[in-house]
A = this chain, B = another copy of it.
Amino acid sequence: MNIQVEPNIEAAASERDMANAIRALTMDAVQNANSGHPGMPMGMADVATVLFNRFIKIDPAKSDWPDRDRFVLSAGHGSMLQYAIHHLIGYPDMPIEELKRFRQLGSRTAGHPEYGHALGIETTTGPLGQGLATAVGMAIAERMMAARFGPKLVDHHTYVIAGDGCLQEGISHEAIDLAGHLNLGKLIVLWDDNRISIDGPTSLSTSMSQPARFKAAGWEVRIVDGHDTSDIAQAIEKARKSRKPSLIACRTVIGRGAPNMEGSEKIHGAPLGADEISATRANISWADESFVIPENVACAWRSIAIRGRRARSAWQARLGSSRRRKGFEAAIAGGLPRNIGRNFSAFRKRHVEEATEVATRKASEMVLGVINAATKLTVGGSADLTHSNLTVTEGLGSVAPRHFKGRYIHYGIREHGMAAAMNGMALHGGVIPYGGTFLVFSDYARGAMRLSALMEQRVIYVMTHDSIGLGEDGPTHQPVEHLAMLRATPNLNVFRPADIIETAEAWELALASEKTPSVLVLSRQGLPMLREAHTRENRSTRGAYILREAMGERDVTLIATGSEVEIAKAAADKLMTESSVRAAIVSMPCWELFEKQSEDHRRSVLGNAPRIAIEAAARLGWDRWTGDNGAFIGMSSFGASAPADDLYKHFGITADAVCSKARDLLRGAAS
């Protein structure tokens, strides 16, 4: 078959020269920083040059253009590959000075590519496999947007460079299975098959046939010489025509060009040293000084941007004349309908008045009914627990191979892959992803959840079955430490609502939180209505509030979250009737938001009386709110398998236990 692959005709320099520019900049920057990973950028320089020179559709002058191709450097330690290319192509924020400040404080050239640090970085990578799994989400979002707005507005590729590490990590399995299932033909993964890992040859730890593995997952696979530019180009060309996702196994030599170090793990993660850099310069006939690029080479790279600019102009014209323009722009902006606040308020008012008593997972489903009707942006899903997480609402429609008009994704039993895909969807834009699993399986999704927070993405995790309250499934399914784990994570809002009203409030806050992902921590078991009257104000906004003040001066303050607020209320009633002890009840659905309040406000909520916190989870962290004279009622071990009521009694999380503790504290304070 005769493949037409045209190299960039404006380039005077060869692609070999262009690739050597990546090698030279990489060596120089890593040497200058005395830190970094030269092996991958030097090994994959030829592949990346061909990809960018002949195929990729980006415009550095407008790097967030919605229909651009997405490029994901999943092997993020090879960040100099991306920075070198960004400099060479002419991203305005990537002058040579930034490359000289590689890995320094405040530079755009962090050790690993960081989303938001420099234009054109589509996602943060570094933890291996994340880039690949995030790219799957981008490719899903592309198909969904194309289904909604048509191919004239949405038609782009997602390219990934992945290393051996990315393909060994478990998350890669979840990602490629999902991508193969959904026939994501516009996803193209270039695997840096250099057969070297940090410990030595990959044969130390794997005998996997990656081509066979990807074929088993429904991918097209090609194998190329990663230093033969026409071989590479033909494979990418064919992959672009495939209706399946493509793996291109690029047989490369790590550190290619360094005469004494190439092909060895020694060049993976350390500077080459002055001598080897000299030898490499000689070997690749690179005469220029450090950080200097010959004009013809620079020219060749910059001309790539011209192709991109033209493509963007053409797209802009199509958008301008499209009747779908408004809808498309609104989707990309990611805003919510103006009246959604009213819908939330009406929902809350109705349910306070009806005193609706449901599990908060059920409440979440009811709120989602309102949300999913009000906006087309939300895309739901679950890691195969749809009818437990209650994440689907009527008429959403399922996403399926060749059917991307639906808004509900069956992610399969793949919590990590789901979280990473949601990151990719949020980064892609045009959709607001939420996805469900059991709270305990945040363990499986942690790696990607951390990136939601680090990248400041509006990803919403619906995590049900949130404590021993789930009952018989036992300790493997009962979260204990997970609230602490999530609360300790920077830039992550953890909501544990106590009733349907707080659940609606949490959803409203999560949707409005454009730079902070949220975790909604929801009960399996039914919960009573706690709110006594409707307020227009979303009372969860400040993180905690006085659900019921004591009658008269407080003797004790009971602080609780989620299903334990009910226990606090029962305890407060008991304390009054049995011991005339005046207890205030504070509901604290979101620590992070409470932490942001002024100290005065926090003190006004927490009060000066002794405090008891009640939460069916680990104590870690609670001392901040209970203080030196406070107490905690919760879990100090793993859970157990039994009906929920038996477990609450067994672990001593009861109104009686709270009362007894309150009396102890008051005796202590009096004595």
Query: Which residues does A use to contact B, with CB under 8 Å?
Result: 33, 35-36, 76-77, 103-107, 110-112, 114, 124-128, 164-165, 168-174, 177-178, 180-181, 197-200, 202, 204-210, 212-213, 215-218, 382, 384-388, 398, 400-401, 410-414, 416-417, 440-441, 443-444, 446-447, 450-451, 453-454, 471-477, 480-481, 484-485, 487-491, 618-621, 623-624, 627-628, 635-638, 640-643, 646-647, 650
| A640 CA / B209 CA spacing, docked (Å) | 37
Known contacts A105-B647, A490-B636: does B170 contact A384 (CB below 8 Å)?
no
Would you list 13 pairs from A and B whose C-beta atoms are within 8 A, ordered by A residue?
A105-B641, A105-B643, A112-B474, A165-B413, A169-B414, A177-B208, A197-B413, A199-B384, A199-B387, A207-B401, A481-B490, A620-B621, A620-B624
Asked if residues B444 and A103 are in contact (CB atoms below 8 Å), the reply is no
Residues of chain B within 8 A of A647, CB atoms compared = 105
Asked if residues B620 and A128 are in contact (CB atoms below 8 Å), the reply is no
| A443 CA / B130 CA spacing, docked (Å) | 12
Residues of chain B within 8 A of A178, CB atoms compared = 205-206
Asked if residues A642 and B199 are in contact (CB atoms below 8 Å), the reply is no
Asked if residues A474 and B110 are in contact (CB atoms below 8 Å), the reply is yes
Known contacts A472-B33, A472-B111: does B208 contact A484 (CB below 8 Å)?
no
Q: How many copies does the complex hold?
A: 2
| A466 CA / B413 CA spacing, docked (Å) | 31
Q: Nearest chain B CB to A362's CB is how many angstroms away?
A: 17
| A177 CA / B441 CA spacing, docked (Å) | 23
With beta carbons under 8 angstroms apart, the residue of B199, B206, B446, B490 that contacts A618 is B490
Residues of chain B within 8 A of A411, CB atoms compared = 205
Asked if residues B170 and A637 are in contact (CB atoms below 8 Å), the reply is no
Known contacts A174-B170, A473-B112, A487-B620: does B36 contact A205 (CB below 8 Å)?
no
With beta carbons under 8 angstroms apart, the residue of B168, B180, B217, B412 that contacts A177 is B168
| A124 CA / B77 CA spacing, docked (Å) | 36
| A85 CA / B217 CA spacing, docked (Å) | 35
Name the residue on B nearest A388 (C-beta): B198
Q: Nearest chain B CB to A497's CB is how many angstroms away?
A: 21
Asked if residues B207 and A646 are in contact (CB atoms below 8 Å), the reply is no
Name the residue on B nearest A632 (C-beta): B624
Residues of chain B within 8 A of A398, CB atoms compared = 204
Asked if residues B477 and A488 are in contact (CB atoms below 8 Å), the reply is no
Asked if residues B387 and A198 are in contact (CB atoms below 8 Å), the reply is yes
With beta carbons under 8 angstroms apart, the residue of B127, B208, B472 that contacts A218 is B208
Name the residue on B nearest A411 (C-beta): B205
| A36 CA / B474 CA spacing, docked (Å) | 11
Residues of chain B within 8 A of A454, CB atoms compared = 475-476, 638
Q: Nearest chain B CB to A311's CB is how many angstroms away?
A: 32
With beta carbons under 8 angstroms apart, the residue of B112, B173, B412, B453 that contacts A205 is B412
Q: Nearest chain B CB to A157's CB is how many angstroms away?
A: 21
Closest 7 pairs between A and B when the two form their complex, measured CB to CB = A170-B170, A205-B412, A173-B173, A126-B476, A105-B642, A212-B216, A481-B488
| A597 CA / B512 CA spacing, docked (Å) | 46
Residues of chain B within 8 A of A217, CB atoms compared = 207-209, 213
Residues of chain B within 8 A of A171, CB atoms compared = 170
| A636 CA / B454 CA spacing, docked (Å) | 13
Residues of chain B within 8 A of A387, CB atoms compared = 198-199
Asked if residues A218 and B207 are in contact (CB atoms below 8 Å), the reply is yes
Name the residue on B nearest A174 (C-beta): B170
Asked if residues A127 and B447 are in contact (CB atoms below 8 Å), the reply is no
Q: Nearest chain B CB to A565's CB is how many angstroms away?
A: 21
Residues of chain B within 8 A of A638, CB atoms compared = 453-454, 490-491
With beta carbons under 8 angstroms apart, the residue of B198, B208, B382, B642 that contacts A103 is B642
Asked if residues B105 and A650 are in contact (CB atoms below 8 Å), the reply is yes
Residues of chain B within 8 A of A110, CB atoms compared = 474-475, 640-641
Q: A205-B411, A216-B216 are in contact. List 8 more A-B contacts (CB 8 A).
A: A104-B642, A106-B640, A112-B641, A114-B474, A198-B387, A199-B410, A204-B412, A208-B216
